[in-house]
Amino acid sequence: MTARTPETSSRPHRHDVIERLTPAAVRAHAPAGLAALLVDAVDGGASVGFLAPLDAAEAAEWWSGIAGEAERGVRDVWAAQGPDGSLTGVVTLVRAGAANGRHRGEIARLLVHSSARGGGLGQRLLATAEAHAAATGLRLLVLDTQTGSPAERLYRGAGWTAAGTIPDYAADPAGTLRPTTLYYKRL
């Protein structure tokens, strides 16, 4: 599931640098920056696969596993870094593994730190992953997000189409079952 996207921010993030992380860089950022982004998202109520409170060590371990996926070419990871060097956002692109699905990918774990929300960083991260997907031959992207979350506005604004809603799909960080909306975008 993807994280909810911010509504307001006091600082613009047009100058945050977005770069694709190598597997080694994912491992290096896992214990601090990437874990902090995930913990912040869960603490803020984002339904991204974890229940609150999320321990930073558990978040770091999850990101370490993502580094392995990046090594195998299954997942690409981009992170936004602020002028002070802190990670302010991340997005991942997961490639379908089945032979009949190699034309598609999934946008997963689009996270923007609560201190960086509202300045368009989520849009920039999403556009970066979409452009890479198109450049590498993917023709269809999918994602899911909690129905009614602020992230839906981001995806609809970026041209994504809602395909349907599944009731009680996943628990939010408090453990309450919530509906999820599936989205797709043709590239």
Residue 4's pLDDT band (cuts 50, 70, 90): very low
| Partner residues linked to 29 by β-bridges | none
C-alpha span between 79 and 142 (Å, rounded) = 20
Q: Using one digit for the tens of pLDDT, what is the confidence trace for 172-186?
A: 999 999 999 999 999
Q: Using one digit for the tens of pLDDT, what is the confidence trace for 140-171?
A: 999 999 999 999 999 999 999 999 999 999 99
Average pLDDT over residues 73-87: 96
- The 3 state secondary structure assigned to 1-61 is CECCCCCCCCCCCCCCEEEEECHHHHHHHHHHHHHHHHHHHHHCCCCCCCCCCCCHHHHHH
State the CB neighbour count (10 A cutoff) for residue 186.
Answer: 10
User: For the packed helices 56-71 and 35-43, what is the interaxial angle rounded to 10 degrees?
Assistant: 120
